[in-house]
Amino acid sequence: MNPNPDNTGFPSDRSRELAERVEHFVRSVVVPYEQDPRCGAHGPTPELVAEMRAKAREAGVMTPHILPDGSHLTQRETAVVLRCSGLSPLGPVAVNTMAPDEGNMFLLGKIGTPWQKERFLEPLVRGEARSAFFMTEPAGEQGAGSDPSMLRTTAVRDGSQWRIDGRKMFITGAEGASVGIVMARTSGPDDTTARATMFLVDLPHPAVRIERLIDTIDSSMPGGHAQVLIDGLRVSEEQVLGAVDEGFRYAQVRLSPARLSHCMRWLGSATRAHEIATAYATTRKSFGKLLIDHEGVGFMLADNLIELQQAQLMIDWCAGVLDAGSQATVESSMAKVAVSEALFRIADRCVQVMGGLGVSRDTIVEQVFRETRAFRVYDGPTEVHKWSLARKIKRDALAGKG
């Protein structure tokens, strides 16, 4: 699988070597686990995760986007590696490129202190721990969702410590996580500008209680998605991640690359679903000829091929902007919308091409359909990104008139 949009090769020799090893591992070792009964409604069990990761370490593909010296691949290099990891929904879990860990590792690597990196980051990089990012809050309590300024969880100084209280919602991987990054409001109730701070937390913790695991349409992420009560959590000053009151700014440091990483991984899954649908359409006969020879089917697969290439180009473009030093807030919004919508259409066509088999769990096609549907909501719904882009269009237009 040549992931380079212009078909001239990989971004670098090291990315080629890593991508090829990850692809071989996922196809030969991880794919057979897809029918494992330890894959449940809230993701693979801890035992299955540990088993796959042991094999990833043995194969030398654990956390492939972070090099032995602690440096990261470029975003363009990461794109080809994470796409290969996504060829199975279990691939990112097995090789430790999965959300939220991948984004949390990126953030900790950028702004963590030496002590924080040793305590919290290194176990994540080794694949010995999982993490959770506590930002989203319940809609019924008017908490933060797509609008982080609505953050209701509070952190208040109490002597030499901070006390954190609040409730969080849809916290991916909270069940079984060892590392937590908690976003809490640190501005007072009378402040006109909302400010937030990030805190690092050892988990499990008696003051961080999982109230329930939420049943959702996706099922690839270990620990599922939880509703969490934070009640009287006390943390020290050294557990503040970055600077006090800079949480919203750090969230942007994390979110743009994390959005793009989702695009990378799910492009791999959509590619695999397309492969499965193509294999079915080129072997299954109906009305005297192969399914692919029926125009309605062949055209759907042709549309898939076009949109897979478009998604790849969009990812490569946004990755290049990030590599140039920009936060790529606008570009990542554009890529997230374009890629998530395209991958959902691709998965939907694969289900349609395969008919009854497509809606069954005999292949991963129906799971890819469910996961990509969720992706249109996660990391910002399509409509929120479009609203943000429209605001930029308006600002630029009005500035031009001045």
Model confidence pLDDT, tens digit, residues 82-133: 999 999 999 999 999 999 999 999 999 999 999 999 999 999 999 999 999 9
Q: In terms of Cα–Cα distance, which of 83, 17, 98, 87 is closest to 53?
A: 98
- Return the bridge partners of 374, or none: none
Q: Which residue has the tokens 């554009």?
A: 334
DSSP per-residue letters across 193-211: S--EEEEEEESSBTTEEEE
Domain boundaries, the chain: 13-98, 131-241, 248-396
Q: 10 Å Cβ neighbour count for 101? A: 27
DSSP 8-state code for residue 183:
E
Query: For domain 131-241, is the CATH number 3.60.20.10?
Result: no
Q: Which amino acid is at 298?
A: G
The pLDDT value given to residue 194: 84
Residues near 319 by beta carbon (within 8 Å), at least 6 away in sequence: 74, 75, 76, 78, 79, 260
Q: Which residue has the tokens 């969720």?
A: 374
User: What whole-number distance in Å separates Cα of residue 124 and Cα of residue 119?
Assistant: 10
Task: Tell me: cis bond preceding 68? Omega within 30 of 0 counts.
Answer: no
Assign domain 248-396 to a CATH class.
mainly alpha
The pLDDT value given to residue 6: 44
Residue 371, pLDDT > 70, answer yes
CATH number for the segment(s) 13-98: 1.10.540.10
The predicted-structure confidence for 147-188, as pLDDT tens digits, reads as follows: 878 899 999 999 999 999 999 999 999 999 999 999 999 987
Give the containing element (helix H, strand E) for 229.
strand 225-236
Reading the block at residue 386, the tokens are: 């479009």
The pLDDT value given to residue 187: 84
Give the containing element (helix H, strand E) for 46.
helix 46-59
User: What whole-number distance in Å separates Cα of residue 11 and Cα of residue 15?
Assistant: 7
Q: 10 Å Cβ neighbour count for 267? A: 26
